[in-house]
Amino acid sequence: MADILQAKPAPPAATLDYHRLVDVENGWIDRRIFWDEGIYQLELERIFARCWVFVGHESQFAAPGDFVTTYIGQDAVIAAKDRQGAINVFLNSCSHRGNRVCFAEAGNTRRFTCNFHGWAFGLDGGLLGVHEEEQYSACATFDKSKLGLHRARVGIYKGLVFATFDAEAPSLDEYLGDYRYYLDVLLDNDASGTEFIEGNVKSRLGCNWKFAAENFVGDAYHAGWTHASAAAAIFKKDVKVNIERSYQANVNGHGTEFGLDLIGNAMGLAEPEVVEYLKENEARFAERLGKLRSRMVGAMSSSNVFPNLAYLTGFNTWRTWTPKGPHEIELHTWVLVNKDMPERLKEAYRRGVSRTFSPTGMFESDDGENWEHCTRSNAGVVTRRQKLHYGLGMDSRMEHEEFPGAVHRVQLNDANQRAFYRRWADLMSAASWADVSDRSGATR
């Protein structure tokens, strides 16, 4: 009898069938992926320690010695520009006792010195010297060339700085693939390039990182309901998503849902000058991007670069969903603008983002509440046994003469979420990059 009553232990996370947990062919997701600690720990290993993760924008590293501190998964890292002009990324953990070597969020420095035993590291992470080095150098295993801060590979795409700790990962260009076509809508609509407005906002939400990522990768469905009151306050009328000539597109887990209305999202900033700027410059955008993409620059849309970099055209808010366990994230938010944009317009974007997508913003508070309750509800044993339905837009795949990737009809669709979870399952199932399937985002 005792054997019958004894609960069976949960299988180790590495042995789970992740393509059964996320049944994208039929549109069903197992809730355990949002709550289970073992699954989360494997995510840190097989997704965040493996993928290219966003760490900053080149505009944050204007001068040698400029640095920011951030996270790749739960690994604290420093990104710093050295005197040769290269941006380096390395662990923010001393190779002596593991202490954090930099506590500032950003700044300029000549070196990073651990306050525990005085070990000093250069802007490339290399060990420069240690306290009482004459005494320490007598140690037979003391080799400064081998005791620097552990470095990541760094890749830059049109101002965006990414890093990965996996030596076998594909190049950043390969990793982004055809999704670069969609990134360029904001990154390359102007010859001057882009920059982040100085400073960023950090906040905490009690949710699983995937709820935030999947929301931005393609959930236009929630906008007309979740944000109805906020939109009515801004637009002074009910706003509905216009599904005519709207699409979803995904490439290996990176995804965007978008319309071609030019100003749909930008109007949400409640800054008329921004809308006028977009209208006045549409022809100039078209010279660089083509007619179709010029209509996307401020349009109703949302996007997520796998795993955790998201942005909204029009609002120009860029954010990362940094995991702090399976049930919490730290949200980092920046505002991206064209470098040659007049200062008054940059300030208008900053005001508009503060009004809408900040911890007290009208839209962000809507989203955060939903994501938190989606996560917390899974604390229940019986609740976790129930599958979640992701079946909207099955068989909506289409061919498009210009848009690359897997393209689907209309924004109101779960296709990008299904593609996001297929990529997630591919990575979670693979022991190395060599084992990761390349499906190019294909899904029904």
Sign of CA dihedral 91, 164, 59, 323: negative
Q: Which amino acid is at 91?
A: L
**At residue 266, does pLDDT exceed 50?**
yes
**pLDDT single digits (tens) 174-228:** 999 999 999 999 999 999 999 999 999 999 999 999 999 999 999 888 888 888 8
Q: Are 88 and 125 in contact (CB under 8 A)?
A: yes
Band of the pLDDT at 236, cuts 50, 70, 90? Answer: low
CATH topology of domain 53-156: Rieske Iron-sulfur Protein (2.102.10)
Cα 365 to chain centroid distance, Å, stands at: 19
Cβ atoms of residues 9 and 419 within 8 Å: no
Tokens of 413: 């669709």
Helix axes 272-280, 282-289, angle to 10 degrees: 50
State the amino acid at position 42 in one-letter form. Answer: L
Q: What is the DSSP string of 382-443?
A: HHHTSEEE--TTTT-EE--SS--SEEEESSB-SHHHHHHHHHHHHHHH-SSGGG----TT--
Query: 179-435 architecture in CATH?
Result: Alpha-Beta Complex (3.90)
Tokens of 224: 């007309």
pLDDT of 361 over the 90 cut: no
Write the pLDDT tens digit of every residue in 6-31.
555 566 888 999 999 999 999 999 99
What whole-number percentage of the chain has pLDDT above 90? Answer: 82
Residue 241 has what pLDDT?
58
For 23-40, the DSSP string reads ETTTTEEEGGGGT-HHHH
Contact 243, 402 (CB under 8 A): no
Is the pTM higher than 0.85? The answer reads yes
In this prediction, residues 80-87 reach a mean pLDDT of 98
Residue 406, beta-bridge partner list: 250
> Which residues of the chain form CATH 2.102.10.10?
53-156
Ranges for all domains in the chain classified under CATH 3.90.380.10: 179-435
Average pLDDT of the residues of the chain: 92
Q: Rg of the chain over CA atoms, in angstroms?
A: 23
Helix (H, G, I), strand (E, B) or coil at 106: strand
> If we measure between CA atoms, which residue out of 194, 166, 222 comes closest to residue 57?
194
